[in-house]
Structure 1
Amino acid sequence: MRKAHRTNSAIRRFIMTIIFLVLTVTFVSACGQQTTGGNGKLKITATTGMITDVVQQVGGEYVEATGLMGAGIDPHLYKASQGDVKKLDDADVIFYNGLHLEGKMAEMFEALEQRKPTVAVSSYLKEDQLHAAQDQSLGGHDPHIWFNVKLWMSATEVIRDTLVEKDPEHADYYKENAAAYIKELEQLDNYAREQIALIPEKARILVTAHDAFGYFGEAYGLTVTGLQGMNTMSEYGSKDVSKLRDYLVENKIKAVFIESSVPKKSIESVIEGARQLGHEVKIGGELYSDAMGDAGTEEGTYIGMVKHNVDTIVAALK
């Protein structure tokens, strides 16, 4: 009897183990197959505000877009919080810039790629469209692609195609939204060219806190230089300040620009150095570089941000 009792107990434990494993596999499978949130929308998590804005423009009513980095946030230095990890884990699709912009999150994206669509919006760009990074240890390319509006059209196409693949039922909707938005971007690109052309050619020199505007300068005809390199993780020293100070004096540059996501004290030291040499330089205004403006404002959209930058630069240098 004792032997039979032990046998029955072993069988029950075996059956319970099988049931537990079946339930676990079913639960994991269900989680893996989930494609929409409780409201029927695709749950999208994006890193920067620029990407989040495009997702909202293309995805419209069929997506629930969440951005990790708000106004004034420097993506080069950004570290994901526990709340961010949950937003990434809950998402159906993740969009990030790539090109090492979100350098401290690279390993996280690599891990997430094994479980869900984790897409770099720079993935359609070819080698000859990208600028080489000055510091190769920070990544091979300049990540600030959104400053060339035509390159940002490519990011829009990446987002469109990803949404179509993930949610084919609404493919036509995403395609129509993307086409309409790209038309707006074409108008923005033309606006930038026309306005920058109003600046006298010799005055088309853009000096900023860090070298984020290389694509902008190439696309719209400006010579661009910054105190720091392309990545704000790189340090600047007294030699960098002296070099930029001398550049301002030699080229008789009268205006430099601060950035919303970079402390202005860095550029103020250059202004003071030029003043000590008898050359007056003013701050021409604040530009949005690695982050957009506050949500709900015109500058809180990609198009509004670019227009603000163009208008600010032209007003100071014209």
Structure 2
Amino acid sequence: MLTRRLLLSLAAAAALALPAQAQDRLTIVATTGMVADAARAVGGDLVDVTALMGPGVDPHAYRQTRTDIVATAQADLVLWNGLYLEAQLEEFLLELAETRPVVAVAEAIPETQLIGSEDYEDRFDPHVWMNPNLWSRVVLATRDAMIAVAPDHADAFTANAEAHLAELSDLAVYSQTVLASIPAASRVLVTAHDAFNYFGAAYGFEVVGIQGISTESEAGLQRVAELVDMLVARDIRAVFVETSVSDRNIRALIEGAAAQGHEVVIGGELYSDAMGLPGTYEGTYLGMIDHNVTTIARALGGQAPERGRVDGLAIN
């Protein structure tokens, strides 16, 4: 494990290695794919954006590498979600913020719109991207962070942000329409961990995570047994796996229900703490949420387009 002294020395060395001449494009490092996507949407051709965490990476447990330290120390701007999502990176990023522009974009959301964390006292659920309307505030915070670093490009950043906010508005309308087609009694979302509370609050779902808000929390045998009993008693027949969380506990639920003569299937794979592969539709924020909404709706008895475009969104 890298010590604090080593972290600071590496960061200092990287900062000294910065080129003296100004660069044509802003160099931005973001922690998660979702934050990186917002930065690309706002920055457009004026920025080069690197995400530290790729597809399938769990941000709750991610620790910085030496390469990450160099990249962040050389960046014009570092963006992270905050709200204790990147728990293992927090100390490093706060230290880096003493010498570099480092912004926790999700912490721009008013506390009145945040959901409390059951895992950590005096902290909030960090999974704010599950509600496109709430994510709009992150886009605005991203815009403001870029303008602070490169005020000469304020007009371009503002225009790009407005265009992306319109896309998020379309996504929110599509999500509301499709999810409303699910019968009210079927709006129970069972997943590997509590990443979907903002989704549930926005669209009227009961959200049940086997683990807590952080994947670092453990799901005991009693918790699994209680959820198996719930699946059977309430006749819930679909549960969901996540791309960035082990499916071990979900498989245990299915096996436990089967032992009681109740069939439960995997309704699909959802993107929770990470997006899809770069270059794919699911590798964008719009595609990630669209995929989740469409997958959930189809699995729980709702109606979603098989193919085509809805409100400007490509539906697979």
TM-score of the pair, normalised by structure 2: 0.88
Q: What is the aligned partner in structure 2 of residue 55 from structure 1?
A: 39
2:189 maps to which of 184, 194, 206: 206
Decide whether aligned partners of structure 1 residues 315 and 140 sit closer, same or farther in structure 2, where only a CA change above 3 A counts.
same
Q: What is the aligned partner in structure 1 of residue 290 from structure 2?
A: 307
Cα contact 1:58–1:160 (8 A) shared by 2: yes
Decide whether aligned partners of structure 1 residues 221 and 153 sit closer, same or farther in structure 2, where only a CA change above 3 A counts.
same
* Counterpart-to-counterpart distance in 1, 2:216 and 2:120: 13
| Letter paired with 1:208 | T
> For residues 158-177 of structure 1, what are the structure 2 equivalents within 5 Å?
158-177=141-160
| Letter paired with 1:163 | M
Decide whether aligned partners of structure 1 residues 37 and 294 sit closer, same or farther in structure 2, where only a CA change above 3 A counts.
farther
1:113 maps to which of 61, 75, 97: 97
Find the residue that maps to 1:119 and give its secondary structure.
strand
TM-score of the pair, normalised by structure 1: 0.88
* Counterpart-to-counterpart distance in 1, 2:171 and 2:240: 22
Q: What is the aligned partner in structure 1 of residue 8 from structure 2?
A: none
* Counterpart-to-counterpart distance in 2, 1:36 and 1:220: 50
> Any stretches of 5+ residues in structure 1 without a counterpart?
1-27
Ranges of 4+ aligned residues in structure 1 off by more than 3 Å: 34-39
* Counterpart-to-counterpart distance in 2, 1:36 and 1:156: 30
* Counterpart-to-counterpart distance in 2, 1:292 and 1:198: 25
2:214 maps to which of 223, 231, 236: 231
Decide whether aligned partners of structure 1 residues 168 and 198 sit closer, same or farther in structure 2, where only a CA change above 3 A counts.
same
Root mean square deviation, CA, Å: 1.6
Find the residue that maps to 1:103 and give its secondary structure.
coil
Q: What is the aligned partner in structure 2 of residue 273 from structure 1?
A: 256
| Letter paired with 2:267 | G
| Letter paired with 2:177 | E
Cα contact 2:114–2:125 (8 A) shared by 1: yes
Q: CA deviation at 1:35?
A: 10
> Any stretches of 5+ residues in structure 2 without a counterpart?
1-11, 302-316
* Counterpart-to-counterpart distance in 2, 1:221 and 1:148: 12
* Counterpart-to-counterpart distance in 2, 1:214 and 1:150: 14
Q: CA deviation at 1:126?
A: 1.2
* Counterpart-to-counterpart distance in 1, 2:93 and 2:25: 23
Q: What is the aligned partner in structure 1 of residue 136 from structure 2?
A: 153
> For residues 1-318 of structure 1, what are the structure 2 equivalents within 5 Å?
39-136=23-120, 140-318=123-301
| Letter paired with 1:95 | L
Cα contact 2:192–2:211 (8 A) shared by 1: yes
Q: Greater helix percent: which structure?
A: 1
* Counterpart-to-counterpart distance in 2, 1:120 and 1:247: 38
| Letter paired with 2:120 | Q
* Counterpart-to-counterpart distance in 2, 1:37 and 1:204: 56
* Counterpart-to-counterpart distance in 2, 1:317 and 1:35: 54
| Letter paired with 2:176 | R
